[in-house]
Amino acid sequence: MDRLDAMAVFVVVVETGSLAAAGRKLGHSPATVTRAVAMLEERLGERLLHRSTRALRLTERGERQAALYRGILSELAEADGADAAGDRITGRITLTAPELFGRSILMPVVESFLDEHPDIGLRMLLLNRVVSLVEEGVDAAVRLATLPVSGLIAVRLGEMRRLVCAAPHYLARAGLPQTPSDLGHHRCIGTEDGAEREQWHFIDRSSARERRLSTTIRPRIALNGAGAAIDAALRGHGICRVMAYQVTEHIEAGRLTTLLREFEPEPLPVHLLFHPIPRRNRALRAFVDHSTPRLRAAVKDVSDRLGLPADGSTNARPN
């Protein structure tokens, strides 16, 4: 087995999560897969995987090499097909985003991208958890969060506010909360995987110096997703806290009312996150070029429709 074959085996090991699964997918024996990984580790003089009886976990060097190997293999695949494809952009990319963001904001952008590039295939993972780009073979991710420092590229798309809201018929019955502490007297709807308690964060701007507040919520209904929480709020079962894009249409239609606006926490930055793009990965580069202005416009549109400020910064930065 040569070095390129070993790289391909290692990438499949990372994607499948085990040596045995990689062997089954590739039609190799477990010993062959083990030798491929060992060959790469011996050449580098470092471990790429932490092995245990239950699972495999990438080392820090393993994460870097997995991204590098994917880039090399992608470039070779595109080079092999370049003559046949001519000027057409071909390839396959994998994206991930939070479920509701993906459905309402990302999907229209993806569909317009595929209409422009009929020879590109696309896989999208809409998941309400942080997906490892390296370990799950993802090319680009939309993240609504403050990002840790990493070797990835983060293109800022804007920012998104977190809103507390409820149905007018619930508020007519239960009254309007005036401060975050009033939430203790209301039915609240949780969204953190059914937790018995949640911390809802706010900012008190009533004095010259802003003061951060943290209110402990004991949800009357504890759910594991914003979609179900919004449905419950629409039916009058209490107050929910969600991202602005998730409830824009309901607020515009009067089905939900925003609460405690003067106490809203700082908005969350929205980024498109990806590895440095290999020169020949034209499919991913085309997607970044196509999606960035459209996603910025979509994020800004949410703020404009709700009368909220938005940061349309156009800087790309390593993150």
Express each pLDDT in 291-311 by its tens digit.
999 999 999 999 888 885 444
Where along the chain do its domains lie?
3-72, 88-161+268-318, 165-244
Range of lowest pLDDT (62-66, 92-96, 224-228, 275-279):
275-279
CATH architecture for the domain at 3-72: Orthogonal Bundle (1.10)
Half-sphere CA count of 32, side-chain side, radius 13 A? 15
Asked whether the predicted pLDDT for residue 271 surpasses 90, the reply is: yes
Residue 106 per-residue DSSP state: I
- Structure-token pair, residue 297: 């416009």
pLDDT surpassing 80 at residue 116: yes
CATH superfamily, domain 88-161+268-318, is Periplasmic binding protein-like II (3.40.190.10)
pLDDT score recorded for residue 136: 82
CA distance 168 to 311: 30
Residues 35 and 68: beta-carbon distance below 8 Å: no
Joined tokens for residue 173: 């019955």
Q: What is the pLDDT of residue 278?
A: 66
pLDDT score for 318: 45
Whether residue 316 has pLDDT greater than 50: no
Q: Which of 286, 199, 191 is nearest to 230 (CA)?
A: 191
Separation between Cα atoms, residue 112 and residue 89, nearest integer Å: 15
- Structure letter (DSSP) for residue 29: -
Query: Among 93-107, 186-200, 207-221, which range has the highest average pLDDT?
Result: 93-107
pTM: 0.71
Q: What is the pLDDT of residues 35-82, one digit of tens each?
A: 888 888 888 888 888 877 667 888 888 888 888 888 777 767 666 555
SS3 of 56-71: the string is EEECHHHHHHHHHHHH
The CATH number for 165-244, chosen from 3.40.1010.10, 3.40.190.10, 3.40.50.2000, 1.10.10.10, is 3.40.190.10
Could you tell me the sign of the dihedral formed by the alpha carbons of 316, 317, 318, 319, in that order?
negative
Distance CA 231, CA 66 (A): 41
Per the DSSP assignment, residues forming a β-bridge with 125 are 96
- 118, burial (CB in 10 Å: exposed 0-12, middle 13-18, buried 19+): exposed
Kind and range of the H or E element at 303?
Answer: helix 282-306
* Burial (Cβ within 10 Å: 0-12, 13-18, ≥19) of residue 225: middle
- How high is the pLDDT of residue 80? 59
**Is 22 within 8 Å of 16 (Cβ atoms)?**
yes
SS3 for 35?
helix
Q: Is the pLDDT of residue 199 over 60?
A: yes
- The answer to whether the 88-161+268-318 and 165-244 domains have the same CATH topology is yes
Average pLDDT, the chain: 86
Percentage of the chain with pLDDT > 90? 49
Handedness of CA 168, 170, 174, 176 (dihedral sign): negative
| Contact assessment for residue 284 and residue 277, using Cβ atoms and an 8 Å cutoff | yes
